[in-house]
Amino acid sequence: MKTILIIGIGAGNPDYLTVQAIKALNQADVFFFMDKGQTKEKLNHLRKEICERYIQHHNYRVIEAPTPERDRNEGDYLKAVDHLNTDKQMIFERLIIEELEEGQCGAFLVWGDPSLYDSTIRILDAIIQTGRHALDYQVIPGITSVQALTAQHKVTLNNIGRSVEITTGRRLAEGLPDNVDSVVVMLDAENSYKTVVDQNIDIYWGAYLGTPDEILISGKLEEVAGEIERVRDAARQANGWIMDTYLLKRR
């Protein structure tokens, strides 16, 4: 049987790795790095840095493979994601067949935590359900961008006795949820915080959390929304990509 480790490596700082994650790194024979292109090559550089820092032997291999992109022209978002995961499943299966021998352990290093806005668990479940492979996997949790964001801003995620919602920019654009004082927004390509700028809200925004490129802005939303948009656009232009998250809290 082959074993796969899905290791959460945190939000960008190698110091975010847990002791459990470090132990898992030292169990793996092969690491599968999904390549998202030249603009995001820093992501795999960091993965390699993590391996070099924490793995105590040199008997492991790193296999890099290009990852498919979601079809941005597909009007049905869920259908586009389903097609993307199907394409990824084909690549994952090929890597496991060709690069991992029976009895060996492979690993995927997942940003943040594998359970939060990541499909690696779903894809491996789909592979197992085909019945074509004798495969087992383990999930090692990691520090999410949400935790990194609140730590860097020195703010609690929730108000006492109140709920927290984690959502996407697409959902926020439909309106701020009722009966929720704290809303974490991820995967926001359209600056959807601007749709609630007229409400009595504080924002805690962060980009490239945990990395040397980290940017933090906080304050009353109506006062800092324009600054966040300008800084975000400039960062995207400079780096070729943006990875940000923010917390909205009712005042």
Q: What is the pLDDT of residue 39?
A: 56
Q: What is the pLDDT of residue 157?
A: 95
Domains along the chain? 2-140 (3.40.1010.10), 145-250 (3.30.950.10)
Q: What is the pLDDT of residue 77?
A: 74
Q: What is the pLDDT of residue 37?
A: 66
**Six-digit token string for 46:** 């960091």
Confidence of residue 101 (pLDDT cuts 50, 70, 90): very high
What's the DSSP call for residue 177? P
Residue 17 predicted with pLDDT over 90: yes
Contacts 24+ apart (CB under 8 A), 212-219: 213/239, 214/12, 214/152, 215/244, 216/152, 216/153, 218/153, 218/155
Per-residue pLDDT of 160-205, as tens digits, reads: 888 999 999 999 999 888 889 999 999 898 999 999 999 999 999 9
Beta bridge partners of 246: 185, 205
Q: Which residue has the tokens 């935590």?
A: 113
Give SS3 for 3: strand
Q: What is the pLDDT of residue 238?
A: 92
For 18, residues 6+ apart whose C-beta sits below 8 A from its C-beta are: 8, 140, 141, 142, 143
pTM recorded for the entire structure? 0.90
